[in-house]
Amino acid sequence: MILAIETSCDDTCAAILDPSGRRAFSNVVHTQREHERYGGVVPEVASRAHLERLDGVVQRALADAGVPLKEVTHVAVTVRPGLIGALLVGLSAAKGLAYAHRLPLIPVNHLVGHVAAAYLADQDLAPPFVALVASGGHTAIYSVTESGMNLLGQTLDDAAGEALDKGARMLGLGFPGGPALSKAAQGGDPSRYAFPVALKEKNNLDFSFSGLKTSLLYRLKAMDEKGVREKLSHLAASYEAAVVDALSLKLLRAAELYDAPAIVVTGGVAANAPLRRVLMEECERLGVKLVIPPSELCTDNAAMIGAAAATTPVVPYPDYLGLNARSI
């Protein structure tokens, strides 16, 4: 049994998986609410909240799975990328647990974890495929083969989720911005305003969302409050459409360039309904398999870290004691 721990941002997570990493017996996520009043994640607050919650979350993951700690054979933990203080809480807990029980440790990359969520969602999925990870902190496309993950393109500035969050904030909507924008966009016309999609040149698989944000800012500056209120659904729909267009354009282009038989989409933004709709239609037309895990596996969770652990080198007991903030 694998015990997996994830604390890279604002979710305190633990899960129990079978040794293949393709089946999760429990997947406990405690989402920190402390950040809501700041409109974004405060790193120091996140670290302290992980410290307070992690023990309880691990206990619950064991209890939900009905697995006693003595049956755990491996401890997997997110080591990068993420908030350094937040990562250290999870890593320290994982090292302590592994050392106390003389278990090996598996240090997992958070983005490999996001992609591995697809292995839990689809038992038949196997490389090769292309994968999009789109969250509040990351936007990247990978080619996944038997030998690992290869970065094909990534954002040069903001992540897609961040662009949605900032756009929602400019429009006076709530946090997180993705779902708030989608709600405000209902009944709106996505083609009413022409917001830009950057880096459209052929073969370019990178993203940029800063111009989109600026474009919304100037559009809003040219309108009065009443105008914004009246046009809110069109503004939200058009802004959301620009993000969805950029993501789907680059992802489908990557699939074509790499002749991929399957596409995986994960990260919090994968919950976006218009994005799912476009990709479903296009993949059906192209005869490409599409795997979008359920949203509880797309957002940060520890089951995906356990799934990634199955393909990540193991550090034997007690060699991982040397793993520290610098190796993160």
Q: Are 305 and 16 in contact (CB under 8 A)?
A: no
Q: Is the peptide bond before 294 cis (omega within 30 degrees of 0)?
A: no
Nearest to 263 by CA among 241, 243, 240, 293: 293
Q: Give the Cβ contact number of residue 92 at 10 Å.
A: 16
248 binds, among Zn ion, ligand KG4, none (CB under 5 to 8 A by kind): none
Q: Which of residues 82-141 bind ligand KG4 (CB under 6 A)?
A: 135-137
300 binds Zn ion (CB under 5 A): yes
**Is 97 or 290 the residue whose CB approaches ligand KG4 more closely?**
290
Which alpha helices (DSSP H) does the chain contain, by range? Answer: 43-65, 84-100, 110-121, 160-170, 177-184, 210-221, 225-257, 273-286, 295-298, 303-309
**Is 135 or 155 the residue whose CB approaches ligand KG4 more closely?**
135
293 binds ligand KG4 (CB under 6 A): no
Q: Which of 7, 12, 26, 135 binds Zn ion (CB under 5 A)?
A: 135
The CA distances from residue 12 to 36, 162, 270, in Å, are 16, 20, 20
3-state secondary structure of 289: strand
User: Given the structure tokens 């040149």, which residue do they identify?
Assistant: 201
How is residue 57 written in tokens? Answer: 């979350």
**Is 91 or 271 the residue whose CB approaches ligand KG4 more closely?**
271
**Is 114 or 253 the residue whose CB approaches Zn ion more closely?**
114
How is residue 208 written in tokens? Answer: 């940029």
- Of the listed pieces 15-23, 87-95, 127-135, 175-183, which binds Zn ion according to CB under 5 A? 127-135
**Is 97 or 268 the residue whose CB approaches ligand KG4 more closely?**
268
139 binds, among ligand KG4, Zn ion, none (CB under 5 to 8 A by kind): none
6 binds Zn ion (CB under 5 A): no
Minimum CB–partner distance for residue 278 and ligand KG4 (Å): 13
248 binds Zn ion (CB under 5 A): no
190 binds, among Zn ion, ligand KG4, none (CB under 5 to 8 A by kind): none
Minimum CB–partner distance for residue 166 and ligand KG4 (Å): 9
The CA distances from residue 203 to 69, 199, 256, in Å, are 49, 10, 10
Backbone torsions φ then ψ of 318, nearest 5 degrees: -110, 30
82 binds, among Zn ion, ligand KG4, none (CB under 5 to 8 A by kind): none
Minimum CB–partner distance for residue 212 and ligand KG4 (Å): 14
Q: Which of residues 154-213 bind ligand KG4 (CB under 6 A)?
A: 161, 164-165, 176-179, 182
Minimum CB–partner distance for residue 83 and Zn ion (Å): 11
- Of the listed pieces 128-136, 174-182, 219-227, 274-282, which binds Zn ion according to CB under 5 A? 128-136
268 binds ligand KG4 (CB under 6 A): yes
DSSP 290: E
78 binds, among Zn ion, ligand KG4, none (CB under 5 to 8 A by kind): none
Alpha-carbon radius of gyration of the chain: 20
Q: How far apart are CA 19 and CA 12, in angstroms?
A: 22
Q: How far apart are CA 289 and CA 302, in angstroms?
A: 25
DSSP 23: -
**Is 107 or 178 the residue whose CB approaches ligand KG4 more closely?**
178
269 binds ligand KG4 (CB under 6 A): yes
Backbone torsions φ then ψ of 132, nearest 5 degrees: -110, 125
Burial category of 316 from C-beta neighbours within 10 Å (exposed 0-12, middle 13-18, buried 19 and up): exposed
Binding-site ranges for ligand KG4 (CB under 6 A):
9, 135-137, 161, 164-165, 176-179, 182, 267-269, 271-272, 299-300
